[in-house]
Amino acid sequence: MQTVALGAGVAALLLVGLVGPNGSMARAQAQSADTGNPLAVVMRGLCKADEIFALAIHGGAVFARSDHGPKAAIVQQSLTEARAVLASGARAIDVVEAVIAGMENSGVFNAGKGAIANKAGVVEMDASIMEGRLHKAGAVASVKAVRNPISAARLVMDETRHVMMVGPDADKFVRENSGAVADVSYFHYGGQNFSDVPLPDDIRIMPPDEDIAKNKAAFSGAWAGVWVGISLKHVLVVEKIEPHGAKVVHAYGPNPSFGEGLHRRFTAIFVGGGLQVTEPSDLGGFITTYRLNPDDTLTATAAKKNSAEVYETTFRRLADLSVGDEGGTVGAVVRDRCGDLAAGTSTGGFGSKTPGRVGDSPIIGAGTYADNKTAAISATGHGELFMRHVVAYAITAAMKYKGLSLEKAATGLIKHELPPKGLRGGVIAVDRDGNVTMPYNTEGMVRGTTSNDLAPVVEVY
């Protein structure tokens, strides 16, 4: 399945970059206005001016050690396929788009099909792309229905006078211009609209201790549903499992009888294989019992103390709210055989993000930047810090104004200057001569590189 997805990505690359269907003509015409020479654009499609080309890909910063084998395998495959088309003269911008689109389609990364949900269980994706010759750039943020956010960013770059489009209007723009949209069911974590259920900002699901029985450990996570009878949207987050109980967050959607934005933390106990929460009397005095079903749904029964009132309903599991700490953002940077640089980044965002939050990935200069005279950069990690320190641009500025090499500029910021300020993450970068560097300050970063004289190399730690 992964091979098919990537194969489709490279096939698209061949069509757009080398064969030149209508889409690439439109792009060629759009660019000719800037270059003044449509032939130059077509020649750029062949792009064999010199021997050197180089590519680096990342599959996200890694915050804790775990199995990143499936991600690494896709990075390896992407490098191998992209190396072949780059050798044939594919353009940097086309390779960036195709590689990232293939990773989005794989469903293995936190981008496109596999994008994680925000804290409310809704997939909101960000992406950007930039080329270094004319400094043209495109970006989308908080899109929910776009199949390939990186291609949506390319569409904004090629077909509009703008750099960034956001939210439902960006979804609509893509629907009307390329049709490459998808129903929520396409996304692994889609179809869960609990955005109006309030959750505290500090939710963090802790892995249960090893000696805690499996059936209890399975309670760790988050579920959402509607209480039948009172139509109350409700999210249950089991934050931390302990031998005899669990730390639980109950969050209730807006409901006149409960007030707006209500959430409470409780300690629950295990009773007869289920989880029992005794709610304090200010919430109506319910004892709620949760039972896990074999299909991973959760049946909840709420019985009012000293009363015959009983509510029962079934909740479905929400995306694991802690998953974002595992990263999985994707990015690519390329130097092609014409000496053109390009960069792109795509993500579902940082774990447990608040609905509406936008990170660095779609921000030109923060998460993505390309300048033919210096370097092309794609970042991954805690986006807020990358935005505040304008990291991707700062690396190129250090090269331009301080005369530093790419290696010194990128390593200096990522490993020395910015960690004391709280920055956690890494970048992949390629300079005008095809030199590649991939510094990070987290536990690891899924990453790989290849060039005209280097076979693909992939590493995580």
C-alpha distances (whole Å) from 373 to each of 95, 255, 339, 340 are 19, 57, 10, 9
Residue ranges of the alpha helices (H) in 298-343? none
Nearer to ligand ASP, 98 or 387 (CB): 387
Residue labelled with tokens 């709610």? 279
The verdict on 138 binding ligand ASP (CB under 6 A) reads no
The count of chain residues that interact with ligand ASP, using the rule CB under 6 A, is 14
Burial grade of 155 (CB within 10 A; 0-12, 13-18, 19 or more): buried
- In the set 104, 171, 360, 371, which binds ligand ASP (CB under 6 A)? 360
Q: How far apart are CA 281 and CA 266, in angstroms?
A: 13
* Token code pair at residue 271: 């009773």
- In the set 245, 349, 365, 444, which binds ligand ASP (CB under 6 A)? 349
Region from 17-25, 299-307, 358-366, 408-416 binding ligand ASP, contact rule CB under 6 A: 358-366
Q: State the sign of the Cα–Cα–Cα–Cα dihedral 15, 19, 23, 27.
A: positive
The verdict on 319 binding ligand ASP (CB under 6 A) reads no
The verdict on 440 binding ligand ASP (CB under 6 A) reads no
Nearer to ligand ASP, 347 or 441 (CB): 347
The one-letter amino acid at 158? D
The verdict on 109 binding ligand ASP (CB under 6 A) reads no
Nearer to ligand ASP, 124 or 131 (CB): 124
Nearer to ligand ASP, 23 or 355 (CB): 355
Min dist CB 71 to ligand ASP, Å, is 12
The verdict on 380 binding ligand ASP (CB under 6 A) reads yes
C-alpha distances (whole Å) from 418 to each of 115, 388, 412 are 27, 11, 8
In degrees to the nearest 10, what's the CA dihedral of 203, 204, 207, 213? Answer: -10
The verdict on 153 binding ligand ASP (CB under 6 A) reads no
- In the set 148, 329, 346, 411, which binds ligand ASP (CB under 6 A)? 329
The verdict on 148 binding ligand ASP (CB under 6 A) reads no
* Token code pair at residue 391: 């990291």
Q: Name the site residues for ligand ASP (rule: CB under 6 A).
A: 60-61, 327, 329, 347, 349-350, 359-361, 367, 380-381, 383
